[in-house]
Amino acid sequence: MRTIKKYFEGKGRNPTNIELQSLGQAWSEHCCYKSSKPVLRKFLFGLNQPYVIDKGDAGVVEFDDDNAYAIRIESHNHPSAIEPYGGAATGIGGIIRDILCMGAKPIALADPLFFGPLDAPLDSVPEGIKHPKYLVSGVVSGIRDYGNRVGVPTIAGSVTFDESYVGNCLVNVACVGIAKKSQLVTNSAKNEGDALILVGGHTGRDGIHGANFASVEITSETEEQDRGSVQLGDPITKEPVIHVCVECAKKGLLTGMKDLGAGGLSCVTGELCLKGGFGAEVHLDRVPLKEADMAPWEIWVSESQERMMLAVKEENVQKVLDICNLWDVSAIPLGNAIKDKVTRIYYHGKKIFELDLDFLTEGPEYERPCNLPSAPIMEEAKKAKAAKPRKFGTYGEALLALLADFNVCCRDWVIRQYDHEVQGRTVIKPLQGKMNANGPGDATVLKPVEDSYRGLALSIASSPFTTAIDPYKGGLAVIDEMCRNLAAVGAMPHSYTNCLNFGNPEKPERFGVFHEAVRGLGDASRAMSLPCPSGNVSFYNESHNGAIKPTISVLGAGIVDDVRKCVTTDLKCAGNSIYLLGETREDFGGSVYSRITGRDGGVSPIDLENLKSGVAATVNAIRSGCVAACHDLSDGGLAVALAEMCLGGSIGAEVNLGALGALPTDAKLFAESATRWLFEVKTGEEKRFEAAMKGLMLFRIGTVGGESLTVADGKKQAVCENVETLRKAWAEPLWNVMG
């Protein structure tokens, strides 16, 4: 406020109401990243590769000589906590617009979701907070209805449950698009005089101050006070808008394009022009309205959905309007790019707004107090110990319990509500294996270009349980998981986008966790030579129930030379050999087994050079054709990964873990040591496979076959469970709760 006062004193006048409202939006945490920018600049902004083409509302990365893919992830947490159906739906609408405004056609959606326990007692949910079961139903329905109606497949995601998300669920949404390099568009006007054309939905009071709402903690009064901040999505309007934007880009009619997201017109107009070195003149009374009595400031800051801003040379304006008319999409020229770097707004001929764009768009930047974690085990992690530790009579019983855990069990209740095959590009799907016996996949694979077998693999990864214990290792762990997932289908990791969900940055201990997690993310990315061309920070994910677990979500993209050589997770053929790649240690920190039983153990160390070698060897082995199936070891460790491979293939396996040394049996079965994969190797290809893994820690541990998963530790049998028993434990939990 002191900065704003000084600015207007220099102008010799007081601000107008609309100017203050605009500054409130533009300088919110959600819009200007005033707390996170110094940390991001230090650890992430320098990540790059020559094949990154642009960093705008989405990152644009080279796919092949002629084509590029656009990639972005963002959060829609607070709106979804208040109105789960509409919040999630508009999250999907917003992330699609981010891809569109780079000139790319959206071809895939992904959604990492985080909720409180589904079986939480009603009286344990704080007043003013919705029950996790209600939130799950609403969020999944919102994603389903929006994505399915606009014809963009939802092909990847995750669903995580934990007490910390009861008061503040997380709805992260991601999108990927494809475009000819020749049709790519930047987020900037190019010429003085370029027309600014508002395309798409009409403007209403929905979504007013949505960016401000996303920059505060949730309280018991939030729903009553802030419901108007939640936007209203309209996929039936969005679908033709997609066609309009892609067609205009293909025909080279645009000098720039940007979507109306956080801040609405108040942010997009100035940003679009300033990036090109210009200012903007806008006639606000031309904006098509949903409600006739809206005040000018409401029109200016509204975040109503399905709107795009196009910058167009004057000679191309009519061509753009004709395309919009063909698709029955509203399109109104609002103003022009001007030489002076200011935004001027006129309303019925009267000037009501004039601000220097450098002042309006730059915003403040804070060096927040930062208490770096002094010990690897944090108080939040101590609280995460199993409240009622369970004991099991056998390791088989423990395996069944892990498979039935909400953080491990089958997600087909969610997946089958989404169309993951529309557009016909999905080669490897989210559920993998024999028909009616599907197991989980590590990554999905798209064939984006019709006349090429080159593929794009996509995978979601997150590590909240590890990050809560050791934030730095959590940052490393999420890259480790992402790379393992992509390599498991035969894809070389190529780029990623991140969504950083944390608590209140004004609390030094929360900001310290953020600092260390981002440091880990940056170190892992540099070691793997992975660019991060886009991302999102979501702070203030706290309620009167406390803060969420610090949660990094990433969508990783990998390149597949030939989609016909990809493999899936399901076991294929009796007699094939099973190998384990990577070192198993007594690593239980943040593990599912630890959360159920209270088993102590540290967080897995991550050797980044070992990760790089393991990824390269895995991808090369799969490309060579000697691997029939591959699965990374993640939640639940080795035993769960083996069970999942058996479920997809509807076939058993006989395994002996004696070669793993003198570790306790439960560590061999359930520890979550990083950088490990399981392989099914074709009979007769063992020597070639072992040669591909030369120099790495590789163990031949078993054989495919039978109707049961049998695991021994030396001469002692540890697990013997029929595949159908495993399937019942894994397949039913979500259906039993959600119906």
Known catalytic residues? 30, 76
CB–CB of 645/488 below 8 Å?
Answer: no
- Is the CA virtual torsion 313, 319, 324, 328 positive or negative? positive
Identify any residues that bridge with 158 across adjacent strands, giving them in sequence order: 112
CB atoms within 10 A of CB 10: 10
Nearest-angstrom CA–CA distance, 548 and 462:
14
Contacts of 30 (CB under 8 A, 6+ apart): 211, 212, 214, 215, 262, 538
According to DSSP H, which parts of 650-685 are helical? 665-670
Nearest-angstrom CA–CA distance, 234 and 89:
9
Alpha-carbon radius of gyration of the chain: 26
Contacts of 14 (CB under 8 A, 6+ apart): 8
Which tokens hold the place of 379? 């108080």
CB atoms within 10 A of CB 289: 16
Backbone angles phi, psi at 329, to 5 degrees: -115, 130
Nearest-angstrom CA–CA distance, 308 and 590:
43
In the chain, the amino acid numbered 294 is: M
CB–CB of 566/427 below 8 Å?
Answer: yes
Which tokens hold the place of 510? 């929360």
Nearest-angstrom CA–CA distance, 259 and 249:
14
Identify any residues that bridge with 629 across adjacent strands, giving them in sequence order: 568, 680
- Among 618, 700, 685, CA closest to 653: 700
Nearest-angstrom CA–CA distance, 269 and 487:
41
